[in-house]
Structures are given as structure tokens and as C-alpha cells.
Amino acid sequence: MRRRSPALWAAALAGYAFLYIPLVIVVVYSFNDSRLNAEWVGFTFDWYRKLFHNEEMLSAAGNSLLIALVASAVSTALGTMAGVAMYRYRAKLLAVLVLTPIAIPEILMGVSLLIFFVMLNLRLGLASVALAHIAFCIGFVAIVVRARLAGMDESLTEAARDCGATPWQAFRYVTLPLIMPGVIAGALMAFTLSIDDFVITFFTAGAGTVTLPLQIYSMIKIAVTPEVNAVSTLLMLLTLALIVVATRLTPSLFRN
């Protein structure tokens, strides 16, 4: 390999440092033996122990996970279909309809969804939040899937059809495996977007529905304890695990 210039290395290092140092600090301070968490006092697992006894925080984390799982599953199914349709039929209107929620400011989407749910007389709760998350995740999945399809050789599907596959079989056994990395990337994206969404969740969550971002935000004014660091660390681990699993399932996801 050719030697790169030191300046390039330095720039890359600075870039990564900027991205990862804050995360490292969050993790390190989750072991800090100080409620204030302003400076390093000593090492402790206390906050993790407290966290596992903090019902509010745990139920918020549980809600977030449940919503993220439902939202990413449903939006991946719908988003994949939308992506395929957008690619295959080049439907302009469909593209506009699917992609608009990505471009719409979150606050607008949050308020309008809330008004819509109220009009429908839908009880605000986890279900309404899940629906809202599905609505904004579909677009992201569709984009990723369509991009993947654009790089696919269309003649493979045609060959399958020539050999007598039904349209469904052609999709299920030829197209889908080929676009799987895109589908999984879309699902991961939907999961992350859902689990950390604040604005839309704030508006569409009902009485008693607290997700992790809402819980943490409401704590900020009082004082964020290292419990928040601890729960964030666990979330990071979960995300990491998901990415590892995803790369195992589809090794081509992160390689060309």
C-alpha cells in the first residue's frame, strides 16, 4: 500500500476522535462514583445496579425497545415494498409520497400526527408512537432498498421468470436475497431512528407512555445522574451487537 501523507492521517484521526471521544466519555463516566458526574471520583458499578432497580428507567427503555422493534419490522416490510415499486415502476408520485416524510421537519410531522390521531379518536399510547415511527421510517428503508436495486442486474430476475418462476418466486428467491444487505441496512437505520427519536415521540406519546429519550430529557432540568450514562452505554452495546449480527448475516453489507 502506498504511504499516505501524515496530514491525511491526522485529519482522519481528528475526524474519528471527534466522533468517538464523546461516546467514550459517556461510557467511562457511567462507572464514576459521583452523583454529580462532574469530575472523576472513583470506579463503581453502582449506577448499573441502581439502573436495574429503577423501574421508571427500565420501563422507558423497554418501551423504546418494543417500539423500535415493531417500527423497524413493519417499516422494513413496507419500505422494501415501496423501494421495489419505486425502482420497478418508476412511479414519480409514489417516490414523492414515500420520501416526503424524510424531508418534512420533525416538529411539523409530530404535531400533524398528533392532530390526526386525535381526530381518529385513537388512544395515544405506545401504539400511536409505533405508528408514527413506522410512518417516518418507511422512507429511509425505501431509499436504501432502491439504491441497492439500482446496483442489481435486472436480467437475473428476468432469467428466473424465463425459467418458469412466478413473480413471487422470482422476488423471493432471486431479488430479495440480492437486496438483503440493503434491507438489513434499512432495518438497522429504522431501528436507530426510532429508538432515539424525541420530537415526534413527544407529540404522539400519550399519558404514561415514556420512552428513553423522553425520560432522559425530563431529567435534564433536575440533574442527569450517571444512571443515564449507564443506560446509554447499554444501548450502545445493543447497537454494536446489532451491527455485528447484521454483518454476520450479510457479510457483503459492509464490503463491496
Interface residues with other proteins (CB under 8 A) are 34-36, 38-39, 41, 56, 66, 70, 73-74, 77, 111, 114-115, 118-119, 123-127, 130, 202-203, 205-210, 214-215, 217-223
Residue pair 141/190 in contact (Cβ under 8 Å)? The answer is: yes
Q: What three-state secondary structure class fits 215?
A: helix
For the CB of residue 171, give the shortest distance to other proteins in the complex, in Å. Answer: 13
Q: Which is nearer to other proteins, 69 or 236 (CB)?
A: 69
Element (H, E) at 49: helix 46-51
Distance CA(78)–CA(74), nearest Å, equals 6
Residue 101 or 206 with smaller CB distance to other proteins: 206
Smaller CB distance to other proteins: residue 59 or 239? Answer: 59
- Residue type present at position 79: G
Q: Nearer to other proteins by C-beta: 66 or 243?
A: 66
Name the grid cell of 135: 410512518
- From the CB of 123, what's the least distance to other proteins, in Å? 7
Q: What is residue 115's three-state secondary structure?
A: helix
Rounded distance between C-alpha atoms, residue 191 and residue 196, angstroms: 9
Strands (E), 36-87: none
Q: How far is the CB of 107 from other proteins (least distance, A)?
A: 10
- Output 108 or 150, the one with its CB closest to other proteins: 108
Q: Please answer whether residues 123 and 205 qualify as being in contact, where contact means their C-beta atoms are separated by less than 8 angstroms.
A: no
Nearer to other proteins, 218 or 252 (CB): 218
Least distance to other proteins from the beta carbon of 36, Å? 5
The CA distance from 142 to 126, in Å, is: 24
125 vs 147, beta carbon nearer other proteins: 125
Please report how close the Cβ of residue 37 comes to other proteins at its closest, in angstroms: 8
Contact in structure between 99 and 143 (CB atoms under 8 Å): yes
Using DSSP's 3-state secondary structure scheme, residue 165 falls into: coil
Q: Which three cell numbers stand for residue 244?
A: 455485528
CB atoms closer than 10 angstroms to residue 111: 15
Q: How far is the CB of 49 from other proteins (least distance, A)?
A: 18
Min CB(217)–other proteins separation in Å: 7
Rounded to whole angstroms, the Cα distance separating 30 from 227 reads 7
Place of cell 472513583: 42
